[in-house]
Chain A
Amino acid sequence: DIQMTQSPSTLSASVGDRVTITCRASQSISRWLAWYQQKPGKAPKLLIYKGSSLESGVPSRFSGSGSGTEFTLTISSLQPDDFATYYCQQYQSYSTFGQGTNVDIK
């Protein structure tokens, strides 16, 4: 099984901050990685797929990068609507999610 590890688990930030979340795979997954945003009581929402492709309708302040085993999700200027939990997902082999990163208000 491919394991996905996100860091940090919790991140405290302020509106306007640049935020970076890291996701590491236990083996190479090329660029077969997606990022999701989840708010309490809601379903996850797709943000990024294939490592860096922005899903339609997602604000351009979200970006993804990386390949192989290390990936990052960056929010260039954190907005009030961005406080949420973020998950990475690999789809190189079946599907595995990271444990999540909670972005809360500093």
Chain B
Amino acid sequence: QVQLQESGPGLVKPSQTLSLTCTVSGDSISNGGYSWSWIRQHPGKGLEWIGSIFYNGGTYSNPSLKSRFTISLDTSKNQFSLRLTSVTAADTAVYYCARGTIFGMTIAYFDYWGQGTLVPVSS
């Protein structure tokens, strides 16, 4: 059974950097058949795909978002991470990590999700 678990700070101050980690069990992130993704949901709103990373470190990012996001892999720990710089209150959201299937050479749908972690941005 594939499981994903997000971890990170409970609160981030404006202008700081947010770092989140997703720990994967039941599958290897080195598995070439999947992507590893971050998706967020602003309070009371819909879902927004942030970006995805493949086993070889290749990344896809949401072109509608400014390039403040970085996604990276740590295969030794079977984890992947999200880093968001210069946060503002608009970045307050529940952040989900998810496993994505692959469509051609890019991302497809998300079949396993973490439970999500709420990250408030406030001074």
Given A1-B63, A91-B103, A98-B46, answer yes or no on A43-B109 (Cβ-Cβ < 8 Å): no
- Of residues 64 to 106 in A, which have CB atoms within 8 Å of B's CB atoms? 87, 89, 91, 94-100
- Most chain B CB within 10 A, of A43, A44, A46, A49, is at A43
Assembled-state Cα–Cα distance A54/B119 (Å):
33
B115, A43: Cβ atoms under 8 Å? Answer: yes
B103, A46: Cβ atoms under 8 Å? Answer: no
Name the prevailing secondary structure of the A interface residues. loop
Assembled-state Cα–Cα distance A87/B96 (Å):
15
A34 interface residue per 8 A CB criterion: yes
Partner of B114, one of A43, A95, A98: A43
Assembled-state Cα–Cα distance A36/B64 (Å):
22
Assembled-state Cα–Cα distance A32/B100 (Å):
14
A46, B107: Cβ atoms under 8 Å? Answer: no
Chain B residues engaging chain A, CB cutoff 8 angstroms: 46-49, 52, 60, 62-64, 96, 98, 101, 103, 106-111, 113-116
Chain A residues engaging chain B, CB cutoff 8 angstroms: 1, 32, 34, 36, 42-46, 49, 55, 87, 89, 91, 94-100
Q: List 17 A-B contacts (CB under 8 A).
A: A1-B63, A1-B64, A32-B103, A43-B96, A43-B116, A44-B47, A44-B113, A46-B110, A89-B110, A91-B106, A91-B109, A94-B60, A94-B107, A95-B52, A95-B62, A97-B48, A97-B49
